[in-house]
Chain A
């Protein structure tokens, strides 16, 4: 009976609707396949030749068979230093914006500052690091310069994720703590931060993942070479990281097995970034389950 009452226009709309739904699903499947294929390509090219030896050995200049030891170490070292510098300031700035900032013109200006800083292209931070450390302080391309420039890049992102996490804490809870006679700082330390911690940590691992793979900044500030030693903690030695090494091997290296080294480096880079995102979340996941009980 329904069929007879349907006008032609209505039928057309229904057909379009079906077609569109199909197209959207097709699009989604296509993108998903593309992403899986990307991961598969990276891992299948790089994983077979991946040994512990490769991860720890020194790179070779001419002969095949070099590793990525110092480069990998530098990656973690620079990441660690940059987080040490940027987390206290970035998180502090985020808390200020969420909890203290009064609603006035000055706060607007501060907010525009944070947003502008987060839109600055990474290469510009690289040039800033180059100008400050190589030109102004005359210390050349160093691990220190790379870490500080990378910290600049992390700052606005950290501030933003912290602000979001802190804002998500309900006001009821805060009011309850004020009613107990807490000062603002006591409230933040004992109520707001524990509740926002999950969001802040998730944010920090996203930032860390991005910083680990960042190459433009490091290329300009920490250089294209290493000191040639493993476990070199000296802040003033050159600090090529894994991401930059991938670029170097692809574009300039003359070793025989450059292609294999590039394949493996890319795989290592992707695996570490993915692990970073996963590992940080496992404790949170357990925490959540505890809370639910």
Chain B
């Protein structure tokens, strides 16, 4: 493989210090450009970090003001979210977010991993070459279009199926989200499964395993870390998704006790209310606290993926 070749970057000092006179300016120009461009690239990456800093600073600063007005327990332990009457209990909304994510994953993961196994292991080449672009296409469809389809197609369907008056709720949102995270999980698992060395499979086949046994006992365990990474990536997408969810979940700030209770999650609650509130109000601070929670959750998930990746490279 080409990556095994090391790269030998010349030190600046190796380049001729005192070039022939007539070509002096050319050398100087090349070296100047070399130096300047390096600083430009460094500046770009620092700009990226600066943006992250801005996000944490602006959201965090406003979020912390929440606790000047209400206590920690009021926010995290109370189920009563009626900002008009000064009750800012986000517990119900937080639990809804978690249960929505869990429900989404329960529906999406088996299908996505199964599809990944099909694409990477079983299907002949032409099916692979067809499925991969089709899945990429699914990623490309804007989230608002998923929401619109959920609202115009899925909810009437659920209404007929269940006999409920309203089809909105966790189930509708989870179905829409499952479709959205499916390609994400599938593509990353597909990559992880394709990365499993061929010799593992051959060894298992040599022992007389059927293809199912090879997949279940050798390939999937060997690709396990990659598949978990894929699932977490799907999770971050499901937790942060806003517009598709807001159109089908019903937007009522209460704890979802059944699959068809109109409810609200962190993202949908923020987007429905933030344009209508004063900037300097506890309401706005509490909404920022919710956004800050979203940030914290996604950072924890990302760090967990890194931890998995590092453990993997230690072993190898």
B-binding residues in A (CB < 8 A): 13-14, 16-17, 20-21, 23-25, 27-28, 31-32, 34-35, 38, 41-42, 88-93, 95-97, 99-101, 110, 112-117, 119-128, 130-132, 134-135, 152, 155-156, 159, 170-172, 174-175, 178, 181, 183-186, 188, 206, 209-210, 212-216, 219-220, 243-244, 246-247, 250-251, 259, 262-263, 266, 269-270, 273-274, 277
Instruction: Check B41 for interface membership: any CB of A closer than 8 A.
Output: yes
Q: Is the CB of A172 within 8 A of B5?
A: yes
Say which residue of A100, A115, A156, A212 sits within 8 Å of B142 (CB atoms): A212
Are B44 and A88 within 8 A (Cβ)? Answer: yes
Interface residues of B in 127-159 (CB under 8 A from A): 127, 131, 134, 136-138, 140-145, 147-149, 151-153
A/B interface sample: 10 pairs, CB < 8 A: A89-B48, A112-B306, A117-B55, A127-B291, A185-B34, A214-B142, A247-B144, A262-B148, A266-B149, A274-B140
Whether B30 pairs with A183 at a CB distance below 8 angstroms is: yes
B272 nearest in chain A by CB position: A251
Selected contact of B59 from candidates A89, A124, A134, CB within 8 Å: A124
Judge if B242 is at the interface, Cβ distance under 8 Å: yes
The bracket for how many chain B residues form the interface is 35 or more
The total of Cβ contacts below 8 Å across the A-B interface reads: 267
Distance from A288 Cβ to chain B, minimum over Cβ atoms (Å): 15
Quick check: which of B64-72, B80-88, B209-217, B218-226 contacts chain A, the rest being far away? B209-217
Q: Report yes or no: A116 in contact with B118, Cβ–Cβ below 8 A.
A: no
Q: A13-B213, A88-B44 are in contact. Are A215 and B7 (CB under 8 A)?
A: no
Residues of chain B at the chain A interface (Cβ within 8 Å): 2-3, 5-10, 12, 15, 30-31, 33-34, 37-38, 40-45, 47-49, 51-52, 54-55, 58-59, 62, 111, 114-115, 117-119, 122-123, 127, 131, 134, 136-138, 140-145, 147-149, 151-153, 179, 182, 210-213, 215, 236, 239-243, 247, 267, 270-271, 274-275, 279, 287-288, 291, 294-295, 298-299, 301-303, 305-306
- CB < 8 Å: which of B140, B236, B267, B303 contacts A209? B140
Given A96-B41, A156-B48, are A172 and B2 neighbors across the interface (CB < 8 Å)?
A: yes
A28-B119, A186-B34, A215-B242 are known; give 18 further A-B pairs, CB within 8 A: A25-B122, A28-B131, A42-B145, A112-B303, A117-B51, A120-B240, A132-B58, A156-B48, A159-B45, A175-B5, A183-B12, A183-B30, A183-B34, A184-B34, A210-B140, A219-B275, A247-B144, A263-B152
Minimum distance in angstroms from A80 CB to a CB of chain B: 17
Q: Which of B117, B213, B271, B303 has the most CB of A within 10 A?
A: B271
Residue of B nearest to A115 (CB): B302
Contact of B145 among A121, A125, A188, A213 (CB under 8 A): A213
Nearest CB in chain B: distance from A38 CB, A: 7
Most buried by A among B31, B51, B122: B51
Whether A115 pairs with B306 at a CB distance below 8 angstroms is yes
Determine the chain B residues whose CB is within 8 A of the CB of A174 once the complex forms.
7
Q: Would you call the interface of chain B mostly helix, strand, loop, or mixed?
A: helix
- Give complex CA distance A174, B7 in Å: 7
* B140 and A13 form a contact (CB under 8 A): no
Residues A41 and B153 in contact, CB atoms below 8 Å apart: yes
- Asked if A21 meets B212 with Cβ closer than 8 Å, knowing A128-B55, A156-B48, the reply is yes
- Check B43 against A28 for contact (C-beta < 8 Å): no
Q: Which residue of B lies closest to A209 (CB)?
A: B140
B137 A35 Cβ-Cβ under 8 A:
yes
A170 contact set on B, CB distance < 8 A: 2-3, 5
- Cα A262 to Cα B275 with chains together (Å): 23
Cβ contacts under 8 Å, B182 to chain A: 31
Contact call A181/B15, Cβ cutoff below 8 A: yes
Known contacts: A17-B212, A116-B299, A175-B5. The answer to whether A155 contacts B145 by CB under 8 A is no
Taking the closest CB of chain A, its distance from the CB of B174, in whole angstroms, is 16
CB of A31 within 8 A of CB of B301, answer no
Complex Cα spacing A95 to B210, Å = 46
- B271 contacts A17, CB within 8 Å? no
B279 to chain A: which residues have CB within 8 Å?
A: 134-135
Cβ contact within 8 Å between A266 and B148: yes
Bound CA span A122–B142, Å: 13
A93 touches B41 (CB 8 A): yes
Decide if B302 touches A92 in the complex (CB within 8 Å): no
A121 touches B213 (CB 8 A): no
Contact partner of A24 among B33, B117, B210, CB < 8 A? B117
- Nearest 3 interchain pairs by C-beta: A213-B142, A121-B240, A92-B44
Question: How far is it, in angstroms, between the C-alpha of A184 and the C-alpha of B41 when the chains are bound?
Answer: 12
* Chain A nearest Cβ from B307, distance in angstroms: 11
Contact A114 B137 (CB under 8 A): no
Among B43, B48, B271, the most chain A Cβ lie within 10 Å of the Cβ of B48
Q: In the bound complex, do residue A185 and residue B111 qualify as a contact, i.e. CB atoms below 8 Å apart?
A: no
Contact of A35 among B117, B118, B134 (CB under 8 A): B134
Q: Assess the B210–A128 pair: CB atoms within 8 A.
A: no
User: Complex formed: what's the CA distance from A237 to B3 in Å?
Assistant: 50
Q: By the criterion CB–CB under 8 Å, are A270 and B141 in contact?
A: yes
Instruction: Given the known inter-chain contacts A31-B115, A247-B243, A251-B247, please indicate yes or no for A155 contacting B48, CB distance below 8 A.
Output: yes
Partner of B148, one of A25, A113, A246, A273: A246
Q: Are B115 and A28 in contact (CB under 8 A)?
A: yes
